[in-house]
């Protein structure tokens, strides 16, 4: 029996190292004591190919320490049979869900086997954040079969309601605890996806091999395998075209500008771009313009109060509207916004930008000042923009960005802001500009670092260097957009295409047909420590920020696809 956290992690790392063709070591959540919950992922756990049955093994839900050796033994036995199993079974595992139970303080022992589905507190529940992480991660992993192993003196198989759809039988009795993890996943539409069949095996170690063998034989005898309802829903979401997803998002977002802020303004920009890309499927530019008429006419002054960067970027749609219909009022509005960025002393941030050089301002400045230059040809906008990006000094040796100069945290969306800001600046910066190469090299170093830490799902963690933090939606959209734009403009080599496709697949899976999204970090100022970033609420449902950025990502991916197919039309 393993009895320490370090022992668990070492044992799993050794398995992954010994069987690299089977597994890679990852993490699926964070414990109450801020430990990453380790997971072994099958190498094709998230591919669309469905000939192999995806089995997810989970243990340690009850906090019983004698489960630890049992689960490890199950993995070792499976690895020994890999030659037989691998063509038919892809096995992933979360061996020890309650890792804190093995810390020196015995008060950490808890039972995580009940209380599902968790309804709120994602991912900051004070008692059991693990249950939130496990629930969402398993739903989006969507195995075809979930297998829980518990230690016990007698052998007992139990099944949840969804097991009835499986093309085999193992002689299990129906489990009574419908609020258990397996019980809840087998009912209804967990997380809006579909049920996941689940089996629970209570077993002692001497009989483990025999009972697991019975299960594997049952699976091997099935000639063809159909994905679980949850997995099928994800496959259906993946199959939607770029424009189908864009139209879903445009139907839900970009229909209001109650307060001038980028989280709503970007969606309006996206609707206008969609109208240009696909006039037969999208609202007309005039219809979108009606949303912002009050600002164009002067009836409402967006600058009534001193604006910050998020307000100024909330007018980004003015550029698209001026392109769509030549409305001079829109051009004037964007220039008014850009003029709030006044250069200051060398090495200092321009007015309206945070003096600590927050990454958010990289997007606000790059997007607005670049467009202002495009409209006017006035070099002052480029000088203010390039000085800000080059003076920030928040990129670290590893290529990633701190949130700002005083906040040494690799926030996921923060790095998305940086990627988006630099790519927007490069879009409008002339090739001959003396600062272009320096800005490009910072950007390429950043994207190369991000390429290395993307997850199998295509997503990026809320804290990029904290394994198991939640897979955050908005940062992934921003990073994917930046890479897609770089491919289109020739700044990135073709190897980045796989990363864009992976990110877009993960994002599509997390958008339902009403435009709701999964795990978007709420508005986040600079935080005092890593724990505060981990505890930022993850939105599940409607979210302006996420809908806006996903719409931009959808459109940029569509442009990339069209250009790769040989379309002659070019866009910014």
Share of the chain above pLDDT 90, in %: 82
pLDDT band at 568 (very low <50, low <70, confident <90, very high): very low
User: What average pLDDT does this structure show over 131-138?
Assistant: 98
SS3 201: strand
Helices marked H in 377-435 — which ranges? 379-391, 412-428
What percent of the chain is predicted at pLDDT more than 70? 96
- CA atoms of 152 and 201, how far apart (whole Å): 9
Q: What is the pLDDT of residues 17-71, one digit of tens each?
A: 999 999 999 999 999 999 999 999 999 899 877 689 999 999 989 877 777 788 8
Cβ–Cβ under 8 Å, residues 401 and 463: no
Side-chain-facing half-sphere of 311: CA atoms under 13 Å: 17
pLDDT digits (tens, 9 = 90+) for 102-112: 776 656 667 89
Helix, strand or coil for residue 218? Answer: helix
Q: How far apart are CA 406 and CA 401, in angstroms?
A: 12
* Mean pLDDT computed over 515-536: 96
Mean pLDDT of 307-332: 96
Average pLDDT value for residue range 62-89: 88
The answer to pTM > 0.85 is yes
Could you count the other beta carbons within 10 Å of the beta carbon of residue 528? Answer: 9
At residue 2, the pLDDT reads: 55
Mean pLDDT of 7-15: 86
| Tens of pLDDT, residues 339-353 | 999 988 888 999 999
Among candidate residues 117, 72, 114, 64, the one with its CA nearest the CA of residue 93: 72
Token look-up 């809840």 returns 184
Structure confidence at residue 6 as a pLDDT band (50, 70, 90): confident
Q: Would you state the pLDDT for residue 567?
A: 55
- Average pLDDT for residues 210-230, to the nearest whole number? 92
Please give the backbone phi and psi of residue 330, each rounded to the nearest 5 degrees, phi first: -70, -45
What pLDDT, in 10s, does the model give residues 457-500?
A: 999 999 999 999 999 999 999 999 999 999 999 999 999 999 99
Query: Would you give the end-to-end CA distance of the chain in angstroms?
Result: 59
Give 421-461 pLDDT, tens digit per residue. 999 999 999 999 999 999 999 999 999 999 999 999 999 99
Q: Give pLDDT, residue 103.
A: 72
Q: For 270-319, what is each residue's pLDDT tens digit?
A: 999 999 998 765 568 888 899 999 999 999 999 988 999 999 999 999 99
Cα torsion 364, 370, 374, 375: sign: positive
CA nearest neighbour of 517 among 473, 565, 475: 473
- The DSSP bridge partners found for residue 401 are 395
Which of these, 359, 342, 360, lies nearest to 351 by C-alpha position?
Answer: 342
CB atoms within 10 A of CB 320: 24
Mean pLDDT over 518-525 rounds to 94
For residues 134 and 187, is the Cβ–Cβ distance under 8 A?
no
Other beta carbons within 10 Å of 43? 16
- Rounded distance, CA 496 to CA 482, Å? 11
What integer best gives the mean pLDDT of the chain?
A: 93
Contact 300, 312 (CB under 8 A): no
CATH architecture of 5-238: 3-Layer(aba) Sandwich (3.40)
Name the band, by pLDDT with cuts 50, 70 and 90, for residue 524: confident
β-bridge pairing 23-30 and 36-42? antiparallel
- Per domain, the residue ranges of the chain are 5-238, 240-564
Residue 172: alpha-carbon gap to chain centroid:
37
Tell me if the domain spanning 240-564 has CATH number 1.50.10.10: yes
Predicted local distance difference test score (pLDDT) of residue 64: 75
232: enclosing H helix or E strand: helix 229-239
Longest dimension (CA), the chain: 80
């Amino acid at each position: 029996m393993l009895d320490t956290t370090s022992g668990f992690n070492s044992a799993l790392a050794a398995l992954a190292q010994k069987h690299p063709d089977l597994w890679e070591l990852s993490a699926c959540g964070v414990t109450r004591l801020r430990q990453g919950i380790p997971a072994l992922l099958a190498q094709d756990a998230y591919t669309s190919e469905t000939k192999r049955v995806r089995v997810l093994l989970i243990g340690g839900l009850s906090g019983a320490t004698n489960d630890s050796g049992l689960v490890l033994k199950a993995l070792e036995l499976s690895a020994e049979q890999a030659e037989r199993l691998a063509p038919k079974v892809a096995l992933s595992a979360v061996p020890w869900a309650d890792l804190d139970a093995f810390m020196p303080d015995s008060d950490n022992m808890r039972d995580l086997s009940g209380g599902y589905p968790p309804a709120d507190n994602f991912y900051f529940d004070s008692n059991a954040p693990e249950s939130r992480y496990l629930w969402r991660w398993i739903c989006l992993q969507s195995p075809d079969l979930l297998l829980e192993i518990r230690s016990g003196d007698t052998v007992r198989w139990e099944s949840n309601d969804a097991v009835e759809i499986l093309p085999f039988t193992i002689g299990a009795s129906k489990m009574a605890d419908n609020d258990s993890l397996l019980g809840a996943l087998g009912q209804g539409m967990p997380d809006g996806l579909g049920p996941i069949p689940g089996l629970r095996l209570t077993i002692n170690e001497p009989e483990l091999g025999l009972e697991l063998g019975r299960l594997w034989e049952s699976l091997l005898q099935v000639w063809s395998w159909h994905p679980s309802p949850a997995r099928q829903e994800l496959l259906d979401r993946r199959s939607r075209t770029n424009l189908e997803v864009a139209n879903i998002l445009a139907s839900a977002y970009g229909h209001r500008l109650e307060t001038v802020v980028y989280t709503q303004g970007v969606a309006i920009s996206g609707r206008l771009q969609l109208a240009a890309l696909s006039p037969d499927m999208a609202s007309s530019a005039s219809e979108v313009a009606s949303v912002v008429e009050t600002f164009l006419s002067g009836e409402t002054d967006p600058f009534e109060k001193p604006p910050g960067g998020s307000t100024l970027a909330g007018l980004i749609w003015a550029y698209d509207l001026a392109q769509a219909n030549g409305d001079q009022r829109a051009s004037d509005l964007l220039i008014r916004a850009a003029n709030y960025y006044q250069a200051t002393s060398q090495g200092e941030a321009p007015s309206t930008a945070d003096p600590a050089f927050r990454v958010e301002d990289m997007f606000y400045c790059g997007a607005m000042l670049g467009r202002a230059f495009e409209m006017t040809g006035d070099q002052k906008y480029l000088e203010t923009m390039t000085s800000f990006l080059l003076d920030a000094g928040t990129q670290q040796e590893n290529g990633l960005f701190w949130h700002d100069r005083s906040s040494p945290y690799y926030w996921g969306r923060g790095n998305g802001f940086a990627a988006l800001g630099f790519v927007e600046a490069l879009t409008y910066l002339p090739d001959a500009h003396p600062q272009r190469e320096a800005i490009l090299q910072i950007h390429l170093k950043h994207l190369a670092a991000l390429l290395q830490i993307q997850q199998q799902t295509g997503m990026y963690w809320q804290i990029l260097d904290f394994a198991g933090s939640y897979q955050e939606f908005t940062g992934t959209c921003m990073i994917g957009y930046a890479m897609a734009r770089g491919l289109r403009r020739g700044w990135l080599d073709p190897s980045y295409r796989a990363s864009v496709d992976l990110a877009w697949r993960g994002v599509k899976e997390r958008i339902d047909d009403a435009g709701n999204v999964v795990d978007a970090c709420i508005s986040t100022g600079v935080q005092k420590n890593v724990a505060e970033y981990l505890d930022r609420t993850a939105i599940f449902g409607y979210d302006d920020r996420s809908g806006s950025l996903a719409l931009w990502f959808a459109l940029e991916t569509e442009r990339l696809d069209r250009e790769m197919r040989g379309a002659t039309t070019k866009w910014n």
